[in-house]
Amino acid sequence: MEARAATREAGIRFGRVPAWVLGALPLLLAALAIGGFAALGGPGLGERAGPPVEELAFERTVLEPGRIVLHVRNDGPDPVQVAQVTVNDGFAQFAMDGTEIGQLGSREIAVEYPWVEGEAYEVALLTSTGGTIAHEVPVAVETPDTDVGFLGLLALLGVYVGVIPVALGMLWLPFVGRVGENWVRVLLAITVGLLGFLALDATLEAVEIAGEGAAVLGGAALPFLGAALAYLALTGVDAHLRARAGRARDAGAAGATLALLVAVGIGLHNLGEGLAIGSAYAIGALALGAFLVVGFAIHNTTEGLAIVAPLAGGRPRLRRLVGLGLIAGAPAILGAWIGAVAFNPALAAFLIGAGAGAILQVILQLMPSLRDRAGRALTPATVAGIAGGAAIMYVTGLLVSL
């Protein structure tokens, strides 16, 4: 009885304290404990044995006449002091702000070296402890200046490979509106195959790019984090749009909502595609030839079909169709700008992963539309459509080589 009375009395006392104070108190105590532990240098743990762990991630390489500028980030637990730099086993002069790079810190290291266009180089950073951290430049090409003309060229490239192909693909809308119910399910199945291939391709690309960046910023977890956040965000958007459209009461609105989700998913994928184009062009690894532009156009034209397939049976306004096309294709322009001007492996991996997550959410939204009157989604016709969509993306993807 006494214990219960004490508990009630304590509860009354806590009940007078504001809720935000009760929520902030544990955080404050934890911060004080962690801060005190760090300030005292980890009392009782003793000195760490063994050599320091020195790791640097090369996030960007800029080639200027007579200089190689390296953007590096400390990817290890210990500070790194760069003592010397070699290029192809020969010592070279370099300049860097400060004497060392702390944990999570980033620096620009400007190496004075008369590089020759088209040649391959290996730049090695020698640390004060005798360690060597190497970086390879496969093909030396001068990095373009990011002026208005350069950004305009990238915007034009984004229009060629993103906006125009998607718009051409959306011209299938009259055909989609004329076919029967069974063919509509097949077209939607082709859409699922197209999107499934895009999601898989984006995931693999994002994981590969994440491996090139600083592991301390997330590494291979970044694509999946981006995918999860995009999936949840698009799910929330879908719920909001369906509520505004009256959900099942208005079939036309439901189709328009699904088309919008498809356009958003494809737009995020094209953002990642633009990142790859812009970063490759900035380092001279992308040859701007007519064949490459045609390859991207054919590859992305099929995305327009994926947008208009949910609109079968409806009569969308031209303004809505233009908006859907821009949502799906225009992010290629933004991606090209980011890739050329401020490419970062961690950011790129996160954004491309977000595209994969958005596409996955759209696929799950499309699957119920494949069901026939018996409630079966995977029939011989829809399975053939899914396989055909994936095959189309694979074959057209062979025309694109970065």
Same domain, 338 and 380: yes
Residue 402 in domain? no
According to the model, what pLDDT value does residue 288 have?
Answer: 46
Statement: residue 252 has pLDDT above 60:
no
**Euclidean distance between CA atoms 195 and 356, whole angstroms:** 9
Reported as a single tens digit per residue, the pLDDT across 188-200 is 888 888 888 888 8
Q: How far is CA 25 from CA 9, 18, 28, 36, 124, in A?
A: 20, 11, 5, 16, 49
DSSP secondary structure of 45-59:
S-PPPS-----EEEE
Statement: residue 132 has pLDDT above 60:
yes
Which 3 state secondary structure label does DSSP give 128? coil
Residue 126 in domain? yes
Same domain, 330 and 391: yes
According to the model, what pLDDT value does residue 399 have?
Answer: 63
Statement: residue 3 has pLDDT above 60:
no
Residue 50 in domain? no
Same domain, 199 and 273: yes
Same domain, 72 and 189: no
Residue 300 in domain? yes
Choose the final residue of a domain: 87, 109, 137.
137
Same domain, 359 and 228: yes
Residue 7 in domain? yes
Confidence band (pLDDT; 50, 70, 90) for 23? confident
Residue 182 in domain? yes
Choose the final residue of a domain: 106, 137, 168.
137
Domain count along the chain: 3
Q: Which of 84-98, 213-227, 289-303 has the least mean pLDDT?
A: 289-303
Which 3 state secondary structure label does DSSP give 60? strand
Same domain, 6 and 89: no
**Euclidean distance between CA atoms 168 and 251, whole angstroms:** 26
DSSP for residue 342: S
Statement: residue 308 has pLDDT above 70:
yes
Confidence band (pLDDT; 50, 70, 90) for 294? low
Residue 97 carries which side chain, given as an amino acid letter? D
According to the model, what pLDDT value does residue 260 have?
Answer: 83
According to the model, what pLDDT value does residue 118 have?
Answer: 83
Q: Residue 119 maps to which CATH number?
A: 2.60.40.10
Same domain, 117 and 22: no
Statement: residue 160 has pLDDT above 80:
yes
Confidence band (pLDDT; 50, 70, 90) for 244? low
Same domain, 27 and 174: no
- Note whether 270 and 230 are within 8 A (CB): no
**Euclidean distance between CA atoms 264 and 331, whole angstroms:** 10
Same domain, 123 and 162: no
Statement: residue 265 has pLDDT above 90:
no
Partner residues linked to 137 by β-bridges: 121
Which range of residues forms the domain containing residue 128?
Answer: 56-137
Q: In what order do the strands lie in the sheet with 56-64?
A: 56-64, 67-74, 106-112, 94-96
Same domain, 209 and 163: yes
Statement: residue 251 has pLDDT above 90:
no
Confidence band (pLDDT; 50, 70, 90) for 109? very high
Same domain, 208 and 328: yes
According to the model, what pLDDT value does residue 49 have?
Answer: 62
* pTM exceeds cut of 0.85: no
Same domain, 246 and 335: yes
Residue 47 in domain? no
Choose the final residue of a domain: 79, 104, 137.
137
Statement: residue 402 has pLDDT above 60:
no
Residue 186 in domain? yes
Confidence band (pLDDT; 50, 70, 90) for 14? low
